[in-house]
Structure 1
């Protein structure tokens, strides 16, 4: 009687194909999402990116509302940081365009077929979505600063809370932006396999970003813009100490680390699949 682990050549080949298909499928799903993003018209990118910038402020508002109702103790941080994932859940599950997600999704098509046309499409997407995200963030920050969507007392409490947060220098912001970019790219990579668990994946990984105090260029800009519009921080300080270094850190973490590693592990399999497809006789 043949033992369970003694497989025939055909069975062993079938096991290998099934085992290898999972990462290949994830890679292809994320790559196709990137292709769709790269092909979107400029106006679609602007509107979707601005909507994401508006929605991501739900994280800041929810955090502030929770902080206002909790005592000033160390354990309270574990509770009010639960508000941080709210904006991400809206944006990611609502399929809005957030810059940090595109550091992996839009990069895989370029990594698979590196040429000047794809690189140009990537830079077009990144610049459009980032500017649209930041515009949405500034609009909500202006509404908060002018007490349109929050009360006078809430604005004063928000200012008091945000002014007490430790101010980061540019280099520190950059280094803290790397793990944030990595975790955001990880969300985009995991979601194709997380059917039915998307909410928990997004909430868990973005909660880690909040707990670690990592720098996310879009979400963190909502805090910086609010302080700038209230005269606490200058525009040059906001750009030099947060937005630019956080942007670089997020790109390093999302593209330089996660996207390169994710594509690198599949590179030989992707090439082999392309060669098999080219060699297959036409149907």
Structure 2
């Protein structure tokens, strides 16, 4: 963004009775406008769309591996904690670990990309940007999913964790397959909505970004919502240990969750938040 645009977005720019130091203090204390948040995320989306497929694939594979800890840590907590009624309140905190690694490590996660690269597409509605978004989504999703199958295979077929923890992983993972198509789809819509909202909140969060990640993903875990990448670790683990078939993975988990996450992120966050700032952006 140009300095002229930044000044127009500044709440102190219209306060002519303040000196420069006071204007800077007002800007520091004020919340960023929706337009500024939009433009920050859109600029990041433009950069992501320009990355090479190899870079996106490696980043996406790293994210798929990292998100595996959102399954491992809750299972470890399940084994360590006593069997009490509030146990799920603490085990759900473990779900946030993988997302902290992925988001703070700037790794490519498909559900984040239902917002970030979509904003440039909404601003520049042409075939070039549509093709760029399609390329990014395809590369990131495939690399994410491949990594989750590798991670779950290691969990299932190596002694990296003892049998007690592997049993807990299986018990925890059954939530990924315990719903029919439409309930799973609706759970995925809410999860996609929350993860995209988390991305929207990040530019204004500053040093509080880890807390935003923890709070939002904790809600996803607590409500047993469906996330396409974290859930893929769970569902593929059950396939590896023989407690589910590949058809279960594909039709009970993957298809409804992918559709729901995409609609939740694109329609409920990207389009709505673009809509609220579009008139303001067109005036500039």
Check 1:217–1:87 CA distance in 2 against 1; reply closer, same or farther (3 A cut). same
Q: Which runs of 4+ in 1 moved over 3 A?
A: 18-21, 160-166
Check 1:24–1:165 CA distance in 2 against 1; reply closer, same or farther (3 A cut). closer
Higher mean Cα deviation, 177-186 or 69-78?
Answer: 69-78
Preserved contact between residue 31 and residue 204 of structure 2 (Cα < 8 Å)? no
- 1:167 counterpart (169, 172, 178): 178
Report what 1:82 is aligned to: 93
Does residue 1:127 correspond to 2:142, yes or no? Answer: no
Count of matched residue pairs: 261
Higher mean Cα deviation, 244-253 or 70-79?
Answer: 70-79
Check 1:157–1:251 CA distance in 2 against 1; reply closer, same or farther (3 A cut). closer
Does residue 1:242 correspond to 2:253, yes or no? Answer: yes
Does residue 1:109 correspond to 2:124, yes or no? Answer: no
Cα displacement (A) at 1:160: 4.1
Report what 1:8 is aligned to: none
Compute the TM-score of the two structures, normalised by the length of structure 1: 0.87
Does residue 1:41 correspond to 2:52, yes or no? Answer: yes
Q: 1:211 & 1:257 partners in 2: Cα distance?
A: 21
Partner of 1:195, secondary structure, is helix
1:157-201: CA deviations, max 9, x gaps?
433444488711111111101111111111111111111001000
Work out which of the two has the higher radius of gyration on C-alpha atoms and give 1 or 2.
1
Cα displacement (A) at 1:135: 0.9
Q: 2:14 & 2:126 partners in 1: Cα distance?
A: 35
1:110-169: CA deviations, max 9, x gaps?
000100110011011001101111111111100001024212332234334444887111
Does residue 1:195 correspond to 2:206, yes or no? Answer: yes
Check 1:50–1:165 CA distance in 2 against 1; reply closer, same or farther (3 A cut). closer
Structure 2: unaligned runs, 5 residues or longer: 1-10, 16-26
Does residue 1:53 correspond to 2:64, yes or no? Answer: yes
Q: 1:12 & 1:55 partners in 2: Cα distance?
A: 42
Does residue 1:183 correspond to 2:161, yes or no? Answer: no
- 2:73 counterpart (56, 59, 62): 62
Structure 1: unaligned runs, 5 residues or longer: 1-10, 274-283
Report what 1:229 is aligned to: 240
Report what 1:5 is aligned to: none
Q: 2:273 & 2:234 partners in 1: Cα distance?
A: 32
Cα displacement (A) at 1:264: 0.2
Compute the TM-score of the two structures, normalised by the length of structure 2: 0.87
Report what 2:106 is aligned to: 95
Partner of 1:214, secondary structure, is coil
Check 1:51–1:165 CA distance in 2 against 1; reply closer, same or farther (3 A cut). closer
Check 1:24–1:226 CA distance in 2 against 1; reply closer, same or farther (3 A cut). same
Cα displacement (A) at 1:107: 0.2
- 2:41 counterpart (3, 15, 30): 30
Check 1:121–1:70 CA distance in 2 against 1; reply closer, same or farther (3 A cut). same
